[in-house]
Structure 1
Amino acid sequence: MATADLLLHPVRMRILQALFETDPLTTAQLRERLPDIAPATMYRHVAVLAESGVLEVADERRVRGTVERSYRVRKEAATVDQDARATMTKEDHQRSYSTFAASLMGDFDRYAAHADADPHVDGVVYRQAAVWLTDEEHAAMVAEIEHAVMSRTGGARNGGRRRRVVSLVVVPDEPKGSS
């Protein structure tokens, strides 16, 4: 499993999001999808992700005397597991959450920048609800949500399907033990 520092870096997070549930992409194709990232920065962060085992080479081909690689995400390596999260400090979590929240804002900004973007027609959803749950009920709810999302990954690109990014955030109103 990867560390939060590895995965929650703003540039690496965007690279991973571009590669999740899509065909393998070359670094040049990633640069087309993420044109605001400088080429040297893109190559450096793709190399970090590949060296750490989060990305794997899906294909190699010769192009003008060099080797062009296509990358895909190794899903099992692209998560911060519970043991790693347990070792993070409160400051680590604050920094990671800030990066995650900024990433969500960036996703929406890139979508909204399209001239034909229509949040209502396109089914954009952002909601918040408060629920009273025991720790066990909370764990069950998160597992249900994760199952609902994960059971829909890997679908074929046909029948009008569009790639949609689903994000989950659960934050307690108060720390455990506060009343």
Structure 2
Amino acid sequence: MATASALLHPVRLRIVQVLRDGDELTTHQIRELLGDVPVATLYRHVAALVDADVIQIADERPVRGTTEKIYRIAPTLANPTAEELAALTPDDLLTLFTVFTSGTIRDMDAYLQAGPPDLVEDRVNFAQADFWASDDEIDVFLGTVTDALLQLRQNPPRADRRPRRLTTILMPRDVPGEETP
């Protein structure tokens, strides 16, 4: 599995961001999306990501006497199974989380670049909230959120609707110096 340190270079993180939603792209297509990155630099960082098992060659095709490679995020990073998640080391999990959050960063950047942002009008929301809850209470909470989301996902496109993406992260939090009651 890849290490999180492979993603600590800004060009590598941007490459992962353009591949994050399951896209399969050639180096030329990645270059078109990252036009400010010199070609030699792009090839070097794509190779580093392949070596680190963050991205992989999805396909190859002949083009003008050479072979063009098509890249994608490594499947274990794109959509790991429960069994794959259970087998990951802490560094593997940090890599997976970094790939996940890089997609969220890319989404926010795309929103901000699309025009003057109006977070209130567009109902953009990001926040953190600390709370105390038992595992049973968390299960009820997640069930409620899942049910509401499943209902929204049934909505067909309509003039008064726009596509939206919900990103959630829920994790236990230890508070230093505070004992659990």
Aligned partner of residue 35 in structure 2, secondary structure: coil
Q: CA deviation at 1:50?
A: 1.5
Does the CA-based 8 Å contact 2:17-2:102 persist in structure 1? no
Q: CA deviation at 1:117?
A: 5.8
| 1:166 matched residue in structure 2 | 167
The sequence identity of aligned pairs, in percent, is 39
Q: Distance in 1 between matches of 2:113 and 2:164?
A: 17
For structure 1, the residue ranges without an aligned partner over 5 or more in a row are 88-92, 153-157
Larger mean CA deviation between 56-65 and 106-115 belongs to: 106-115
Q: CA deviation at 1:26?
A: 0.8
Q: Which amino acid aligns with 1:84?
A: T
| 1:70 matched residue in structure 2 | 70
Q: CA deviation at 1:8?
A: 4.2
Q: Which amino acid aligns with 1:64?
A: R
Instruction: State the superposition RMSD in angstroms.
Output: 4.6
Q: Distance in 1 between matches of 2:75 and 2:137?
A: 24
Q: TM-score, normalised by structure 1?
A: 0.60
Q: Deviations over 1:14-38 (max 9, x none)?
A: 2222112233111111122222333
For structure 2, the residue ranges without an aligned partner over 5 or more in a row are 151-155
1:72–1:107 Cα change, 3 Å: same
Q: CA deviation at 1:55?
A: 1.7
Which has more radius of gyration? Answer: 2
1:6–1:167 Cα change, 3 Å: farther
Q: Distance in 1 between matches of 2:62 and 2:129?
A: 52
Does the CA-based 8 Å contact 1:55-1:71 persist in structure 2? yes
How many residue pairs are counted as aligned between the two chains?
162
